[in-house]
Amino acid sequence: MRLSRIGGMLICLTSSGEVNAQTDAGAAVDGAPEFTPDSDSGFTPGDGGTQTPAPPAAAPIAPAAPGVAPYGALAPGYAPRAAPATPSPVYRPPAFVGPAAQPATASSEPSRARVGDAHLDRVVIQPTAMTQPEGTLYLSTTDIVFLQVGYAFSDSTQLTLTGTPPLGEDAIYPLDLTLKTSVAGHGPVRAALLGSFTGLFGLEEGGAVVGRAGGVVQLCFDRPCETSASLATTALLAGPAVILVPGAGFVWRVAPWAAVLLEADTLMPIGSEASEYHGAAISAGFRLPYRTWALDLTLLRPLGVDEPPEVLPLLTFTYRVLP
């Protein structure tokens, strides 16, 4: 038998070839060696005394700051949010949207009267406060002698030219140019202003032109103002002579296709220069009002004369072209 020391182990070799191992100063327990601080680190005992490399030690984790969770740690009570499920598209037909309702405005109130009556701007002789619709061209005649043509520049302003063919042997003919502007065209009470130039042409002395200025107030008894009463006055300015021509008229719509007319007119001089020019007249009649044409059939009788005058028939026809 021979004894040998290898490292910390005592090897005993016998004559039969058996090997017995025993540790020095730290005898083996149950034949399994154990590590001591002086042992070769990095090895662990294996079966049959073989040694295998130990796994590397994990790097120490630095302590987190107070109140801060370590990297990779989840906050208490936190659970990952599941991805929302994408709903399948559902077809919905588009909702029908009708035309927006137009608010009622004052300009739409008189539309029926403005479009439905070609004679809306007059009674018999005196004017009303209403004007023709914008862009309207109109032609009128009274007893085929007095001719008139007019045009509406807007819903509140129109221009009218009135005249006659040359009359008599001297071929005298009058002309009148009137501008009418509505200053209150809506509501139960309406008003308009008028300015005119009236002249006689064909005289031996040449032409004579005078100016006229006036106004009219109209009281409506229904919303479209198809039945109304008007009070108008015009001042004829002939140099120092001033003559007023006031008048009152009434239009009563008795049916969609018919109206009754009544009017009273006076001639009043202001001052002594034209004192001989005075008089009065009344007229009554019947009207056929339509969209593009209108016909007035009236009778006029002068008042305040010595001899009973004859009743004068007045037939007024208007045709207009609406825009």
| Residue 244: per-residue pLDDT | 93
With b for 16 or more beta-carbon neighbours within 10 A and e for fewer, the 191-203 pattern comes to ebebebebbeeee
The encoded tokens of residue 252 equal 């009563």
| Residue 51: per-residue pLDDT | 52
* Tens-digit pLDDT profile for residues 190-219: 999 999 999 888 777 777 888 999 999 999
Average pLDDT taken over every residue of the chain: 77
- Is the pLDDT at 103 greater than 90? The verdict is no
* Tens-digit pLDDT profile for residues 26-53: 444 444 455 454 544 444 444 444 455 5
- Is the pLDDT at 22 greater than 50? The verdict is no
Q: How confident is the model at residue 1 (pLDDT cuts 50, 70, 90)?
A: low
The predicted model gives 260-269 an average pLDDT of 95
CA distance 111 to 90: 48
Cβ atoms of 136 and 114 within 8 Å: the answer is: no
Helix (H) or strand (E) holding 111: helix 111-116
Query: How much of the chain, in percent, has pLDDT values that exceed 90?
Result: 45
The encoded tokens of residue 169 equal 């042997």
- Residue 23 or 62, more confident: 62
CA distance 21 to 33: 10
- Residue 12 or 302, more confident: 302
pTM over 0.85, yes/no: no
Write phi, then psi, for 280 (nearest 5 degrees): -155, 160
- Is the pLDDT at 5 greater than 70? The verdict is no
| Residue 310: per-residue pLDDT | 81
- Is the pLDDT at 234 greater than 90? The verdict is yes
| Residue 238: per-residue pLDDT | 80
| Residue 138: per-residue pLDDT | 97
| Residue 155: per-residue pLDDT | 93
- Is the pLDDT at 179 greater than 50? The verdict is yes
The predicted model gives 103-118 an average pLDDT of 62
